[in-house]
Amino acid sequence: MQFPNEIQAALLFDRRVDNLEAMVRDFLRIEEARSGARFNVPEANPGVFYRLFGGDQMMISFEYLDHPANPDLFQQVLGSMITGFMCPDIRERLMKSRSHILITASHGVLGSSPEIAQLMAQLGRPMEGASLPQFTRRLDVCALISRIVCDHVPAQAVHWTQSNQLFPRETFEQVAAMEAPSPLHIHPYLFGNAKGKDQPRVGIRTFGARHFIGREVLVEPSILPWTANFETILAFLRVATIKNGYIVSDGDTFGPEDRSQLYRVLHREAEEGDVPLCELVPLIHRDHGFVAEGYVPPERLIDQRMPPLEVMPEDDEAKMELVNEWREKRARAEGIGGRFEVRAWDQGDGSPPPARPSGPVFGRRKA
């Protein structure tokens, strides 16, 4: 399922927690003031469990468990390098865990089990909550509640299950305040040569991007800092998810208006047992002095409306298809306040340079 219906956060504490009801009251008050949404409480076991329903058919639960979380649930995330970078003492924090609170947000009253999904398919009805706005709403509400809980009792760590990440409380509160998709929602699994005598080359394979665009994102090991490439991944996802947004087409490039960065986008079909990928190939990153061999400088910009004949196909039908393709892509880029450019790519063999799309579409936008 592209848009997981059940969003859950587990907050781990080094002490007993006795004020779950106060956390519920604070959420009800804050959420009504913030969005106007109201919830009723159809189920309550004071101090232990509360179920809320309302606010655009949302189902929310608060559950307090007076024992440590199952350590087996954290084995995969503990194997991710990013976990150690964000919280070097995460294993000690988990060992100190004495209780935890589970926050769950979903849409509808039927749940999202495979049996329910099959039933809805047989009835020809979409699953409840199966849209990007509803998905981001669930993420937003779960993050808000988790921050409220941390305001009452500082958590040792927060396990955000949608992206399978473990955060120390301080980092969680920062990323949870950001608009989705953010580092909270996209887990950058790092791979490559991060240490040793050779120049470090680190790649990124995301987990969580599929929930927004139906694909994960890949950057092969690069001499660029992984943080720079991760920022580009987040920018790529924002382009795809903002109003009128879209996934940059296969083979096209994108970058900020100031042309300080440029990445080519390659669409990879799903391999067996995997999901489709969008690979981002860095072409230029001026802040880090990086220029790839395949980079086409702005000086090779061509007029899309009156392109030179030597860069166009000879067949009239193919020529018209290319012009129409450029027109559609230009409209999409302008729809999010960006631009669409076409540059001539020098093949270096004396043959006429073909036209290559290049659309700077993130960063500063037109008013």
Q: Is the pLDDT of residue 92 over 80?
A: yes
Strand spans (E) along the chain:
7-13, 39-45, 49-54, 58-65, 99-107, 157-160, 165-167, 187-193, 201-207, 216-222, 253-256, 261-268, 277-285, 290-291, 301-302, 341-344, 355-362
DSSP string for 111-155 = ---HHHHHHHHHTT-PPTT-SHHHHHHHHHHHHHHHHHHHHHS--
Between 239 and 193, the more confident residue is 239
User: Across residues 328-343, what is the average pLDDT?
Assistant: 83
Tens digits of per-residue pLDDT, 66-76?
Answer: 999 998 999 99
> How does residue 340 score in pLDDT terms, banded at 50, 70 and 90?
confident
Between 292 and 295, the more confident residue is 292
Q: Is the pLDDT of residue 80 over 50?
A: yes
Residue 354, pLDDT score: 54
Q: Is the pLDDT of residue 358 over 70?
A: no
Cβ-count burial of 304 within 10 angstroms (0-12 exposed, 13-18 middle, 19+ buried)? middle
Alpha carbon distance 338, 243 (integer Å): 13
Kindly list the domain boundaries of the chain, sorted by start residue. 7-176, 187-291, 298-362
Cβ-count burial of 140 within 10 angstroms (0-12 exposed, 13-18 middle, 19+ buried)? middle
Q: Is the pLDDT of residue 179 over 90?
A: yes
Cis link prior to 181 (omega < 30° from 0)?
A: yes
Q: Is the pLDDT of residue 101 over 50?
A: yes
Residue 366, pLDDT score: 30
Nearest to 97 by CA among 168, 41, 30, 203: 168
Tens digits of per-residue pLDDT, 33-50?
Answer: 999 999 999 999 999 999
Alpha carbon distance 119, 308 (integer Å): 56
Q: Is the pLDDT of residue 310 over 80?
A: no
Q: For the ranges 103-117, 257-271, 351-365, which has the lowest average pLDDT?
A: 351-365
Q: In the sheet where 165-167 sits, what is the strand order?
A: 39-45, 49-54, 58-65, 99-107, 7-13, 157-160, 165-167
Tens digits of per-residue pLDDT, 142-152?
Answer: 999 999 999 99
The pLDDT > 90 percentage for the chain reads 68
> How does residue 344 score in pLDDT terms, banded at 50, 70 and 90?
low
pTM of the model: 0.87
Q: Is the pLDDT of residue 194 over 70?
A: no
Amino acid identity of residue 235, one-letter, is A
Residue 113, pLDDT score: 55
> How does residue 365 score in pLDDT terms, banded at 50, 70 and 90?
very low
User: Across residues 301-323, what is the average pLDDT?
Assistant: 75
Q: Is the pLDDT of residue 326 over 90?
A: no
Residue 276, pLDDT score: 97
Q: Is the pLDDT of residue 212 over 60?
A: yes
User: Across residues 251-268, what is the average pLDDT?
Assistant: 92
User: Across residues 168-184, what is the average pLDDT?
Assistant: 96
User: Across residues 204-226, what is the average pLDDT?
Assistant: 97
Q: In whole numbers, what is the pLDDT of the chain averaged over residues?
A: 87
